[in-house]
Amino acid sequence: MIASCEVLEQLYKTVLLGATLESDSHDYVCHLTPAVAGQGSPSTTSAEWSDTHGDQDRRQPSSVRLAPVPTAPVCWTTSSQRSSARETVLLQLTVIQVMLARVFSISIESRSKEKYRDVIKTLLQSAEVDSKLICMFQNSDKLLSHMAAKCLALLLYFQLREKIPLSDSWIAFCQKHLSEYPESDKAVYCLSTLTVVIKEILKDTSSQKTEIIKQLLTPLDTTFEAFYNSVFSQHFERCRDTSKVTSSLMSFLGLLELLTASGVYLQARFACQRVVLLKPSCMLGVMTWPVQAFVKRQLIMLIKKCLLCKAGEDLCRGPVPAFLSPGHPADADTLALADAVLRAVDLGLLKKLSARGRPSCFGGDKVQPRGERICAPDYVILRAVSLVLMKSLEVKFQNCTSANEMKAALRRFMSELLAFLRPHLPPSLHGPCEWLPRVFIEQDDDMLEAAKAALGIYVKLTREHEATERLAPGETWDRHMHENGCNPHCIFLFFLKNVGFDASVLLDFLISSETCFLEYFVRYLKLLQKEWDNFFTICNLFPESLSFEFAASKVMTVLRQSSRERYLCLSFGLSSDAVGELRPGLVSKTCRNAGFQLEFESKTCACSCPELYMGVRN
């Protein structure tokens, strides 16, 4: 065994550097094949490991030739630990993972990569390594279990990339234990392995990702749907071991995000990739389960990402595909999710949901017996619930044509949301619309997504009312929007207040790709040129620090600066008394960004307000 460890250590150093292997592939496979005693049992004693590896040592050839590698000494364990069977298995799994990483790397020379690929193929063909790893990742040793699951996942990904049929034993294992949930407690191993495989697929830069994901999901699609129904239909309060249920839930929610992302980015249309969008009602029921708060956070964050088409954004490179246009099936899926969210709110979801937080301390969330307990609300839940409801309303209204129906829905759902938020907001709000910047003050990207959703709701409702009821600007409709906390002019002014009217901060927002500020701002400007009178009226209702002159001058500063950066330029030319007579507006250039085309036209406002200049520097 000591000889085997020495060979493995030298092999590790060689592969780590990407050096070429000179011996026959079968010789390396003999050293890399993990021996598993008692494969029928999920745990193995130290004596069994030792006996098994003693036999393996006697079988292994000594003809492996590895040139000495000039590297810094690797700090392994002590001599006694190095000779242990457990350390040998961990070293074997490490070498296999490093070798697979070198196969996937683009920086390794082709000769070395081909040899590594041949060794892995030989290992898969001759050693039944997949069955051994399946047995091993059920081991009671957590480190060994984790390493085996990661190694198996990378081997599965290798098979997919090389167009090698997937392991029958692994497919059978997943189908069996996913179908038998919750009676079987081994489903979590399938979920963790699949999560790693799909992450690797999404990170891949090859053009074969769609074919790879199809090969992976084809044998498991039906099983996944049955597992989804089982997970979210169980009665959590009746479960004997709630920790295992919680672990399965967290693993499955992470996998569901990746499955949804693979459907969006890779354009595959399996049922398991759409199950969150098509069957969200039972999943939303988890929000009322007596589970820990982090499970509810994970769930509501998943729904938020699905509504915003941001599932898997940290792994997927490039923007959301352009095929997600109105009328595409994915658009119908998002509408189904939005409808389910609104139905859940109608059934009293927000009344049952708690957003009480626990104190955040440097050493944890526990408070000493004599310590003062100050509980802030769970702002993660507050922000996510608010954004999910706002986005659901926007999606719903984009597919609705009845102004009266939309007006009633807005009043009903926004009153539910504001009632849910009211206990966690300061009592002295300046107006109903101030809830949005108060809730999202620490999360710029979500705040701007919510502001954009409120703007979309306002524009849609205003357009439908003007078309059907011929409301004049400034009539009761604007007051109705204000009472429900969705007036875009109020929200924009509160946003300016929250960033301290700092021109440099606004400029950072304007040029940053981390938020949707530029898209939101272009849409708001398009509305603003039609509603100068409303904007001016609302400015006069704000405190002196938010007067029209002050707000306009600050926006003028940032947008003049941004024009020097070749971005959208807007300038407010103020007269000497700031509320002078309007001189004819000047405008007529086109702004193109993120697929938007905005024609700024000259407009004479009915009320007294400053001169408006809009334009874009090419």
Q: Looking at the structure, tell me whether residues 98 and 210 fall in a common domain.
A: no
Q: Domain boundary residue among 272, 288, 316?
A: 316
364 within domain boundaries: no
Q: Does 365 fall in a domain?
A: no
Residue 289 falls within a domain, yes or no? yes
Tens-place pLDDT, residues 91-103: 999 999 999 999 9
SS3 377: strand
Pairing of strands 596-599, 586-587: unpaired
Q: Do 132 and 172 share a domain, yes or no?
A: no
Domain boundary among 113, 140, 162: 162
pLDDT score for 509 = 84
Between residues 326 and 610, the one the model is more confident about: 326
- 58 and 138 housed in the same domain: yes
What's 93-132 look like in SS3?
HHHHHHHHHHHHCCCCCHHHHHHHHHHHHHHHHHCCHHHH
Same domain, 119 and 205: no
- Cα 539 from Cα 314, distance rounded (Å): 39
pLDDT (tens digit per residue) in 456-466: 999 998 887 77
Provide the pLDDT for residue 4: 73
Which of 7-11, 60-64, 117-121, 465-469 tops mean pLDDT? 117-121
Mean pLDDT of the chain, nearest integer: 76
In this predicted structure, the answer to whether residue 259 has a pLDDT above a threshold of 80 is yes
Contacts of 201 (CB under 8 A, 6+ apart): 157, 160, 209, 212, 213, 216, 262, 266
Quick: pLDDT tens for 177-226. 999 988 888 899 999 999 999 999 998 887 788 899 999 999 999 999 89
Residue with tokens 């697979």: 100
Query: Domain ends where: 265, 288, 316?
Result: 316
Distance CA 299, CA 250 (A): 9
Number of domains in the chain: 2
Neighbouring-strand partners of residue 392: none
Token pair, residue 279, equals 């069957």
pLDDT band at 81 (very low <50, low <70, confident <90, very high): very low
- The reply to whether 3 and 37 lie within a common domain is yes
Q: What is the predicted pLDDT for the residue at 326?
A: 47
| pLDDT for the residue numbered 42 | 43
Of 154, 153, 134, 155, the C-alpha closest to 145 is 134
Residue 561 pLDDT: 55
Indicate the pLDDT class of residue 363, thresholds 50, 70 and 90. very low
What pLDDT sits at residue 157? 95
8 Å CB contact between 376 and 367: no
Range 114-142 average pLDDT: 88
Res 27 pLDDT > 90: no
485 occurs within a structural domain: no
Q: Which amino acid is at 429?
A: L
Domain membership flag for residue 110: yes
Same domain, 67 and 48: yes
Range scoring the smallest mean pLDDT among 59-68, 401-410, 428-437, 544-553 = 59-68
Q: What's the average model confidence in pLDDT over 310-323?
A: 69
Whether residue 416 has pLDDT greater than 90: yes
Residue 531's pLDDT is what?
86
Q: Is residue 614 part of a domain?
A: no
More confident residue, 585 or 90: 90
In a domain, 569, yes or no: no
> What pLDDT is stored for residue 473 in this prediction?
53
Q: Within this chain, do residues 173 and 144 fall inside the same structural domain, yes or no?
A: no
pLDDT at 106 (0 to 100):
86
Shared-domain flag, residues 249 and 125:
no
Q: How confident is the model at residue 25 (pLDDT cuts 50, 70, 90)?
A: confident
Q: Which of 160-164, 350-354, 467-471 has the lowest mean pLDDT?
A: 467-471
Domain hosting residue 67, numbered range: 1-162
Determine, yes or no, domain membership for 607.
no
* Cα 121 from Cα 163, distance rounded (Å): 11
Based on the fold, state whether residues 133 and 15 are members of the same structural domain. Answer: yes
Mean pLDDT of 40-64: 47
Do residues 220 and 301 share a domain?
yes
The answer on pLDDT for 68 being more than 70 is: no
Rounded CA gap, 391 and 407, in Å? Answer: 16
Give the model confidence (pLDDT) of 541-561 as tens digits. Answer: 776 555 556 666 665 665 555
| The most confident of 52-61, 76-85, 393-402, by mean pLDDT | 393-402
With bands split at pLDDT 50, 70 and 90, how would you rate the model's confidence at 586? very low
Q: For the segment 486-537, what is each residue's pLDDT rounded down to a tens digit? A: 899 989 888 888 776 667 777 888 888 888 988 998 899 899 888 888 888 8
The better pLDDT of the pair 269, 329 is held by: 269
Count other Cβ atoms within 10 Å, centred on residue 315: 18
Q: What is the pLDDT of residue 72?
A: 42
Only one residue has tokens 């049992």, namely 41
> Do 157 and 109 lie in a common domain?
yes
- For residues 114 and 170, membership in a common domain is answered with no
pLDDT at 374: 56
Q: Between residues 376 and 213, which one has the greater pLDDT?
A: 213
Find tokens 């619309």 and name the residue: 433
Question: What is the number of helices (H) and of strands (E) in the chain?
Answer: 28, 5
